Structure formats: structure tokens, C-alpha cells
């Protein structure tokens, strides 16, 4: 048991050492929200972002400056917020992860509300290789309706 626990501790340690290209999960959340707002409304405001992120407007301003400094967006106070190609790429990656996970959770029979809550907690932490394998597994299940039906009837 001791060896198993030490392996688990080493695994946790290794996971925390990994850098995600300089972007934290919180930064990714902001980029995702900004991307969604721009797609929905054509623009994103500090007030809109603060409402969706459930944080104060000054906190949003601070993060927008940080995202600007890291090259994810172009931000000028009291002006528009525009994602750079780098920021749009991160936002699109998160959107794809979200949609793959949502599709998988639907297959498992998990409600949209629960699935979306869970996805927000894990979408930033999954390796790209894991997402690719999950996508392949979903495709396999969908191309084998008998297996899918057997699972759903359990």
C-alpha cells in the first residue's frame, strides 16, 4: 500500500509541475468567456465578463491587463477587447474540449446541467492526448450502435 501511495504522490507532484503554455485555468476561463461573448454579441465588455465570471469589474480589468501582457488579447481601457490569434486558439481549444466532454457525458446519460458543471472543473486539466483518445472512443461508440444501446440499457 505504501508503494502505491508514493506513486500517487509522485504523480500528483508531476502534474503540478507541468506548465500549460503560460496560461492558467482562470486565464482560459476568461478567454473562453470573451470568445463566447464576441461570437454572441460581436463584442465583450468588462461588465459582461464580470457578470459571467462572477467577479468584480476591477478583477476583470486586472486579468485583461495580464492577458494583454501575455499576448492573448488586445485590451485598451474603455475600448474594445479583441482576442489575438494566440488567444483565439486557446479559446477554441477549450471550446473543443468542452464539446467533446459534453458529448461523452451525454453518452453516459448525465444531465446537461451536471455535465456542464463537471466539465468546467476538468476541461482545463486534460491533456490533449486524452481528449484525442476520448474523441476516438466517442466515434467508436457512435459507429457501433449495438454497443451503445447495450450500455444505455444497463
pLDDT digits (tens, 9 = 90+) for 22-43: 458 889 999 999 999 999 988 8
Cβ-Cβ contacts under 8 Å for 52 (sequence gap 6 or more) = 33, 37
Of 95, 115, 97, nearest to 36 (Cα)?
95
- What is the four-CA torsion angle of 144, 146, 152, 153, rounded to 10 degrees? -170
On the CB side of 13, how many CA atoms lie within 13 Å of its CA? 6
pLDDT at 81 over 50: yes
pLDDT, tens only, 118-138 = 998 798 888 889 999 999 999
Q: Look at the block and give the residue holding cell 476583470.
A: 60
Rounded CA gap, 90 and 72, in Å? 8
Q: What is the mean pLDDT of residues 90-114?
A: 93
Q: Are 54 and 48 in contact (CB under 8 A)?
A: no
pLDDT band (50, 70, 90) for residue 20: very low
Amino acid at each position: 500500500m505504501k508503494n502505491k501511495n508514493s506513486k500517487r504522490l509522485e504523480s500528483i507532484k508531476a502534474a503540478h509541475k507541468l506548465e500549460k503554455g503560460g496560461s492558467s485555468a482562470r486565464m482560459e476561463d476568461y478567454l473562453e468567456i470573451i470568445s463566447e461573448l464576441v461570437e454572441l454579441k460581436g463584442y465583450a465588455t468588462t461588465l459582461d465578463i464580470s457578470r459571467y465570471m462572477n467577479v468584480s469589474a476591477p478583477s476583470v480589468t486586472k486579468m485583461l491587463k495580464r492577458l494583454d501582457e501575455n499576448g492573448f488579447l488586445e485590451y485598451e481601457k474603455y475600448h474594445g477587447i479583441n482576442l489575438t490569434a494566440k488567444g483565439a486558439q486557446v479559446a477554441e481549444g477549450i471550446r473543443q474540449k468542452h464539446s467533446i466532454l459534453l458529448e461523452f457525458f451525454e453518452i453516459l446519460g448525465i444531465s446537461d446541467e451536471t455535465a456542464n458543471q463537471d466539465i468546467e472543473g476538468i476541461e482545463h486539466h486534460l491533456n490533449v492526448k486524452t481528449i484525442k483518445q476520448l474523441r476516438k472512443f466517442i466515434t467508436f461508440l457512435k459507429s457501433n450502435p449495438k454497443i451503445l444501446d447495450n450500455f444505455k440499457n444497463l
